């Protein structure tokens, strides 16, 4: 099984690692998150580690990336969760790992802006159906902040 633990990468040590926004990195990051929302959902089960990562996100500080995305809505958080490197192997993985590492060091403001933009992406119908199914689980719903999805 793929290890979906995210370690401590979601909370950079520096509160504002970059003072100037880098639109290219932000756009690259949005495109990484976007592909998980607009591509057909082919999974038959809930992604491995989702519940543990969701529980961790709910207890993370407000400036942690995972919490920023969760506050933007479950859809945005799911895209973040799927995009954050696990142990899986796929074409383009190294570039995605590098892009996500750079993204983690962006300012809180830029990460919030990115999360808000990801939350506005209209998902593929199969992704929306999967999200709806995931949100039917009562213990999962209890972990969520007031909904924006």
Measured between alpha carbons, how far is 127 from 113 in angstroms, rounded to an integer?
22
Average pLDDT over residues 108-114: 92
Cβ partners under 8 Å of residue 136, min gap 6? none
User: Could you give the 3-state DSSP secondary structure of residue 53?
Assistant: helix
Q: Identify the band that residue 147 occupies on the pLDDT scale cut at 50, 70 and 90.
A: low
Q: Identify the band that residue 3 occupies on the pLDDT scale cut at 50, 70 and 90.
A: very low
26-57-148 Cα angle (round to 5):
70
Count CA atoms within 13 Å of residue 74 on its CB side: 22
Mean pLDDT over the full length of the chain: 81
Q: What is the pTM of this model?
A: 0.79
The per-residue pLDDT for 138 is 77
Q: pLDDT tens digits for 11-20?
A: 544 444 444 5
Measured between alpha carbons, how far is 48 from 135 in angstroms, rounded to an integer?
16
Domain borders along the chain are 23-134
- For tokens 């990460």, the residue is 111
55 pLDDT above the threshold of 80: yes
């Amino acid at each position: 099984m793929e290890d979906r633990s995210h370690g401590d990468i979601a909370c950079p040590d520096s509160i504002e690692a970059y003072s100037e926004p880098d639109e290219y990195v932000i756009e690259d990051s949005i495109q990484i998150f976007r592909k998980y929302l607009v591509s057909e959902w082919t999974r038959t089960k809930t992604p491995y580690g989702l519940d543990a990562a969701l529980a961790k996100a709910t207890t993370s500080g407000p400036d942690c990336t995972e919490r920023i995305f969760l506050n933007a809505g479950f859809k945005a958080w799911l895209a973040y969760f799927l995009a954050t490197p696990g142990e899986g192997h796929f074409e383009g993985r190294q570039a995605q790992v590098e892009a996500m590492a750079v993204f983690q060091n962006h300012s809180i403001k830029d990460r919030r802006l990115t999360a808000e933009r990801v939350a506005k992406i209209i998902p593929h119908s199969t992704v929306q159906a999967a999200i709806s199914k995931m949100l039917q689980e009562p213990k999962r719903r209890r972990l969520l902040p007031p909904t924006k999805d």
